[in-house]
Amino acid sequence: VEAIRRGDPHPGLGVPAPRGVRAVPAADVAHALADADAAIVGVSSPGIHWAGRTLAASLPRRIPIAMITKGLEPTSAGVAILPDVVREALPQAVRVHPVAIGGPCIAGELARRRASAVVFAGRDAADVRFLADALATPYYRPAVAAEPVGLCVCSALKNAYATAVGLGAGLLEREGGARGPVAMHNLEAAIFARAAIEMETVVGALGGDRAAALGLAGAGDLFVTTSGGRSSRLGRLLGLGRPLADARAELGNPTLEGVDVAAIFHERLPAGVAADDVRLLRFLGDVLFGGADAARVFEVV
């Protein structure tokens, strides 16, 4: 907040905020929202309950809410998507269906106005349409999906699966690295393909539109997430044989959404999901939480 107020580059993205952006601390959110046409939630997933409470205390009236926060939350019945979690926190007068935003969108590229195609989905079609129209630019193109479960499930799972794909890089290094131009792309691609299939199955089991797995929010977001970032770097360290705690520390103790998602499926499977349906995701849980050898990933793809 202080950096943006000073006009400095965003500390994480390296570019200044566009002219007209006003940064306020959390304590002033109610004031900042007084005239707002919409609210967009961008906290990391562990902060989603805080964000829900903050919105509940700050929204002046019913306005559309969008969310780029990704994740799933275990419930007694299975798992909940985060827009539904936020909705539950809102008082009746402002209780909207938040709109989920997914698809391949590395923040640093979007901040530099590079072409980004994304997906908006929610249970309130009018709010989805309003936000998609309001936020579209020549370089940011929202498509609208029929329902939010497919998008939210894929957006959450892709972090775990990007970690699984990342195992290949670590296994290769453990074996002594690339020999000439030869890496371990065949294995990584087999993990990628298995991940896409498992995402589709979980989406279907949780009542979502299975088509999400093949599109921007599924294969597209998984593709971009494997090209860098925390999730794939974690995979590399696991592939090298590091325990989760060591790997996490080596990465600087960031939020690791994929670890949280893998934990959900490691502890208990949602109704309608069989263990073999998500054998790759379960194996990742075994590596993360049970000390399984990452080299055995070939057995589950």
User: Exactly one of 89, 197, 244, 292 binds its own copies (CB under 8 A); which one?
Assistant: 197
Smallest separation, CB 132 to its own copies (Å): 16
Region of 28-36, 58-66, 68-76, 114-122 interacting with its own copies (CB under 8 A): 114-122
* Phi, psi dihedral angles at 273 (to 5 degrees): -110, 115
Q: In terms of CB distance, is 115 or 274 closer to its own copies? A: 115
Taking CB under 8 A as the rule, does residue 104 contact its own copies? yes
The residue behind tokens 């980004």 is: 116
Question: How many CB atoms neighbour CB 84 within 10 A?
Answer: 17
Taking CB under 8 A as the rule, does residue 102 contact its own copies? no
Taking CB under 8 A as the rule, does residue 25 contact its own copies? no
Contact (Cβ atoms closer than 8 angstroms) between residue 172 and residue 183: yes
Structure tokens at 136: 């579209």
Please list, residue by residue across 1-32, b when 16 or more beta carbons sit within 10 angstroms of its beta carbon and e when fewer do. eeebeeeeebeeeeeebeeeeeeeeeeebeee
Taking CB under 8 A as the rule, does residue 3 contact its own copies? no
For residue 79, the SS3 value is: strand
Region of 53-61, 105-113, 235-243, 265-273 interacting with its own copies (CB under 8 A): 105-113
Q: In terms of CB distance, is 98 or 103 closer to its own copies? A: 103
Give the sign of the dihedral formed by CA 53, CA 54, CA 55, CA 56: positive
The pairing of strands 116-121 and 99-102 is: antiparallel
Contact (Cβ atoms closer than 8 angstroms) between residue 163 and residue 258: yes
Taking CB under 8 A as the rule, does residue 113 contact its own copies? no
Report the alpha-carbon distance of residue 186 to residue 180 in Å, rounded. 16
Region of 88-96, 189-197, 252-260, 262-270 interacting with its own copies (CB under 8 A): 189-197
Taking CB under 8 A as the rule, does residue 137 contact its own copies? no
User: Exactly one of 48, 82, 160, 196 binds its own copies (CB under 8 A); which one?
Assistant: 196
- Residues in 158-187 that interact with its own copies by CB under 8 A: 179-187
Tell me how many degrees the CA angle 222-17-257 measures, rounded to the nearest 5.
Answer: 30
CB under 8 Å to 165, separation ≥6 — which residues?
Answer: 188, 191, 192, 195, 222, 226, 232, 235
Taking CB under 8 A as the rule, does residue 289 contact its own copies? no
- Residues in 216-235 that interact with its own copies by CB under 8 A: 216, 218-221, 223-224, 227-228
Per CB under 8 A, residues contacting its own copies are 14, 103-106, 108-110, 112, 114-117, 141, 179-190, 192-193, 196-197, 200, 213-216, 218-221, 223-224, 227-228, 298, 301
